[in-house]
């Protein structure tokens, strides 16, 4: 790197939003303290680099751990909540997690990552080097989004007194949004094969959704457990939009279209006449929300996305009907 470029890069890093006093810990088996320190410093370097493009001022801590499960479970979140566990489904097992925490009355973010991810970042020739950059950037983008939400909608997420169906729909809409925006923000550091890896999994999920929902409703005839079938159908259809958010956000972040980057999924969407208009509305709504991102003033900004989630459940055979008494 030429001296002028090196100096410019150093100046850029100095403007990073990553707090100088962010708490960083590393635990596990390392050949030496020097190795552990180097790996820790490598992770901090990448986070500082991401902080030149993202707002990481609300990042509270970074934990690098061999025992990822235990570190997640023991994380002090600043409020009572169930112990966190790594996700593990058809889309894989997570390697890092950005978790909202409360510190001194403010919502901040703690990032926990598997040590395998940190090792990969420390070696440019490692087979997971590019993927590790992308994964860490995605979690950094979550920290950015948490800070934007804290600043623009400070009351969002607090108990609202709404009924369970409304809470579920709003929660699903919020998850769709946050995975969309973090995927969009981190796309610039993404791996080239990302869409190709997501596409077949999304196709499998969408192509089997109706059949699985029919089986769930059929099972109700025998077990008569309304909560069980409700949870199953929510899981089937809610995940379609949530998981699609990763793809759509990444595609929009690259300035591309779903047709360009995931043609088979786009083809399947168009073939599913019950889903195609919902997806079009969903993608349009996400674009509209992004156009005002950072200047929201009330949680009503999520209403169109909540409506889309409800339309998807309706199409899947589950309708919420409000009684005349308001129940």
| 163-177: average pLDDT | 89
What tokens appear for 235 in the block? 């899981």
141, 59 in Cβ contact below 8 A?
no
Q: What mean pLDDT do residues 16-23 have? A: 94
Of the residues 95, 119, 152, the one at which a domain ends:
152
Show the domain range for 304. 164-315
242-258: b (≥16 Cβ within 10 Å) or e: bbbbbbbbbbbbbeeeb
DSSP structure class, residue 15: T
* Residue 224 and residue 246 in one domain: yes
Q: Give this prediction's pTM.
A: 0.92
Q: Are residues 17 and 84 in the same domain?
A: yes
Q: How far apart are CA 291 and CA 67, in angstroms?
A: 40
Helices and strands per DSSP (H, E), number in the chain:
12, 6
Number of domains in the chain: 2
Do 45 and 121 form a contact (C-beta atoms < 8 A)? no
Instruction: Tell me the two tokens of residue 30.
Output: 């390392």
Distance CA 39, CA 46 (A): 11
Same-domain pairing of 26 and 120: yes
Question: Which residues on adjacent β-strands are paired with residue 154?
Answer: none
DSSP 157: T
pLDDT single digits (tens) 98-135? 999 999 999 999 999 999 999 999 999 999 999 999 99
Which residues, other chains included, contact 280 with Cβ-Cβ below 8 Å and sequence gap of 6+?
none
Instruction: Provide the pLDDT for residue 232.
Output: 85
- CA 301 to the chain's CA centroid: 19
* Residue 207 token pair: 């192509």
Full DSSP string of 43-90? HHHHHHHHTTTS--TTEEEEEEES-HHHHHHH---SS--PPP---EET
List pLDDT tens digits, range 204-248.
999 999 888 888 877 878 887 877 877 888 888 889 999 999 999
Q: What is the pLDDT of residue 327?
A: 47
306 & 183 share domain: yes
Query: Quick check: 202 and 279 in contact, CB under 8 A?
Result: no
- Separation of alpha carbons 4 and 192, rounded Å: 30
Both 137 and 197 in one domain: the answer is no
Mind listing the pLDDT tens digit for each residue in 186-206? 999 999 999 999 999 999 999
Q: Which of 27-36, 84-93, 211-220 has the lowest mean pLDDT?
A: 84-93
Same domain, 194 and 304: yes
Same domain, 88 and 112: yes
Q: Report the distance separating Cα 289 and Cα 302, nearest Å.
A: 8
pLDDT at 1: 53
> Is there a single domain that holds both residue 311 and residue 169?
yes
Is residue 241 within 8 Å of residue 172, measured between CB atoms?
yes
């Amino acid at each position: 790197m030429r001296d002028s470029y090196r100096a410019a890069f150093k100046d850029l890093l100095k403007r990073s939003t990553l707090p100088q006093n962010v708490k960083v810990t590393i635990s596990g088996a390392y050949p030496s303290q020097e190795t552990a320190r180097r790996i820790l410093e490598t992770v901090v370097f990448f986070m500082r680099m991401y902080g030149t493009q993202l707002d990481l001022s609300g990042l509270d801590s970074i934990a690098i751990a061999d025992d990822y499960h235990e570190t997640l479970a023991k994380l002090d979140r600043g409020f009572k909540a169930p112990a966190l566990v790594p996700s593990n489904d058809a889309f894989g097992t997570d390697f890092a997690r950005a978790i909202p925490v409360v510190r001194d009355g403010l919502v901040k973010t703690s990032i926990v990552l598997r040590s395998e991810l940190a090792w990969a970042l420390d070696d440019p020739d490692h087979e997971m080097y590019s993927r590790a950059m992308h994964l860490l950037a995605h979690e950094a983008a979550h920290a950015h989004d948490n800070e934007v939400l804290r600043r623009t909608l400070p009351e969002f997420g607090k108990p609202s007194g709404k009924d369970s169906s409304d809470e579920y729909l709003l929660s699903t809409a919020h998850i769709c949004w946050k995975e969309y925006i973090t995927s969009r923000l981190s796309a610039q550091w993404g791996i080239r094969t990302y869409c190709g890896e997501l596409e077949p999994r999304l196709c499998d999920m969408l192509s089997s959704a109706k059949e699985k929902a029919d089986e769930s409703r059929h099972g109700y005839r025998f077990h008569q457990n309304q909560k069980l079938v409700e949870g199953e159908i929510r899981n089937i259809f809610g995940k379609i939009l949530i998981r699609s958010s990763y793809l759509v956000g990444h595609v929009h972040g690259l300035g591309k279209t779903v047709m360009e980057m995931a043609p088979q999924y786009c083809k399947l969407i168009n073939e599913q006449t019950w889903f195609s208009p919902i997806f079009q509305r969903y993608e349009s709504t996400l674009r509209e929300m992004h156009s005002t991102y950072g200047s929201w003033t009330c949680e009503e900004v999520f209403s169109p996305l909540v409506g889309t989630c409800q339309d998807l459940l309706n199409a899947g055979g589950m309708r919420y009907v409000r009684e005349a008494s308001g129940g």
